[in-house]
Chains A and B, each alone.
Chain A
Amino acid sequence: MRRVPVLLLALVLALTAFAESSNKKEAAAVTPVAHSSDANSMRAEGEQRFRANCGRCHAAPQKFPPRAMATVLRHMRVRATITDEDMRLVLFYMTQ
């Protein structure tokens, strides 16, 4: 079991390397969605992401106040391991 910490460290380093190398790609992937789409298309896309991600476990809840919804989405990002882009679009759909 001495190998376990080494394996975890290797996993951290691998993920970090992957994250760093992909950060620019991710920003490029996220930003155009936010800037090139109008609110309606973002809302529609957010609804799609909501149904695909959140619908895996539960029915659609009512829309809570925006700042409460931001907390719920941060919680669900961790709990349900949804992606960063999915979280942003779902948050837009649930608050706008």
Chain B
Amino acid sequence: MIFAPASGLSQTTSTEKPVPILSGTAGFLSDKTAGQTLLDTQFNPVLLVPLGDRWLVESRGEFEGEFQRPPGGGPFGGPVNKHLDYLQADYIANPYVTVTVGRFLTPFGIFNERLYPMWIRALQPDPLILPIATASSDGTMLRGGFPVGARANLNYAAYVSVTSIGIDGVESERHVGGRAGFFFPGSRLEVGVSWQKALQDDRKNAVGFHMAWQPRALPLSMHSEFVRSNQGSGYWIEGAYRLSQVHFWEKAMRRTELVARGQQFFGGSITSDAADSLGLPGVNTREADFGVNYFLRDGLKVVGSYGRQLSSSGNFNQWTVGIAYRFLIPLGRGGNP
């Protein structure tokens, strides 16, 4: 019954029949953390293949080269990491339910699914809590969004990851979880909650809350996440302000965005070595970041940020400059622009 097409609800007209597209992000960052320079090149191709009115096959890969000078000096060198972020088939069963099968981004919080790409994120360094409960899932998921009353939309996702894979590039674990959020279009506010239970090892729970808000009166975009788990707990809150209301150098100001993020991490019940292997700080940590983004044109921006991290294992500065480019190539006749 759930797979029965709902009559009259197909997405497109004949003139808007979707075509496959190759999209994604390419970027380069120079990152100086605690005096150590890291050259980070990233290429994240996204392939979207629509099939009929209701199917979409989508995939994203990650190729990341991280190059550093060796401790004794010498030329930059380092590994090129390859990773399959997702390879999934989506079936839009009806206006309320989309069924996803395959490898997919775990819908825990909002950063992992929505804000991760370089061209979208306002600050290039990851939030400290990002590794918690966001490993890609291999299994099935139900998700959707629909109005509940005149002033709110409900969005949800429920998923099971059924395989535990530990080979390079496609790591995953067995877990079950869900996320639900309410979006209020009038006030442009979204609040939501996430939950995940591991089905392996210590079978622990992780709980998260998220918020996104774009006030109508200001070109300001606020995002925040909180998470609590045995691997650690913490939060981040970020504001990005576009200078489009400044009345001098208007052309340049419209393209400029100022960003600030505050965050805190509290260590969990796992060892500092285990935390390190997950990409989490080994001790309680605080961090503040400030950044500037300049949009050269659509999909192309220059980024720069400064961060200060404070913890019992040492305080240090983090400087980042770079460039991010989003590309989109229709793999077929796209129609008139």
Mark A residues whose CB is within 8 Å of B: 1, 4-5, 8, 11-12, 15-16, 18-20, 22-23, 26-27, 29-31, 48-49, 51-53, 55-59, 61-75, 77-88, 91, 95
Contact = CB atoms under 8 A, between A and B. Distances in A.
B20 interface: yes
A16 B48 contact: no
Interface in B1-50: 1-2, 6-9, 11-12, 15-21, 23, 48, 50
Contacts, number: 184
Contact of A61 (B12, B298, B333): B298
A13 B198 CA distance: 24
Interface in B90-125: 90, 92-98, 100, 113-115, 119-120
Contact of B56 (A27, A56, A78, A88): A78
A59 B121 CA distance: 11
Most buried by B among A12, A22, A78: A78
Interface residues of B, number: 69
Contacts of B337: 63-66
Most buried by B among A1, A62, A66: A66
Contacts of B7: 27
Contacts of A18: 96
A84 B96 CA distance: 8
B144 A81 contact: yes
Nearest to B99: A12
A16 B1 contact: yes
Interface of B: 1-2, 6-9, 11-12, 15-21, 23, 48, 50, 56, 58, 90, 92-98, 100, 113-115, 119-120, 142-147, 153, 155-158, 160, 176, 181, 183, 185, 188, 190, 199, 212, 214, 221, 242, 295, 298-299, 326, 328, 330, 332-337
Contacts of B156: 81
B158 to A, nearest CB: 6
A17 B153 CA distance: 18
10 residue pairs, one from A and one from B, having the closest CB atoms = A65-B334, A81-B155, A81-B145, A84-B95, A70-B18, A71-B18, A66-B335, A68-B330, A19-B96, A62-B298
Given A67-B335, A70-B11, A83-B153, A52 B185 contact: yes
Nearest to A59: B295
Contacts of A16: 1-2, 97
A72 B18 CA distance: 9
A84 B9 contact: yes
B185 A78 contact: no
Contacts of B145: 80-83, 86
Contacts of B113: 79
Nearest to A80: B114
B334 A67 contact: yes
A64 B18 CA distance: 12
Contacts of B98: 77-78
Contact of A74 (B11, B185, B335): B11
Contact of A57 (B48, B115, B185): B115
Contacts of B336: 65-66
A74 B88 CA distance: 14
Contact of B334 (A1, A53, A68, A86): A68
Nearest to B86: A79
A81 B334 CA distance: 24
11 contacts: A12-B97, A19-B6, A26-B6, A26-B146, A52-B185, A65-B336, A65-B337, A78-B90, A78-B100, A81-B144, A81-B156
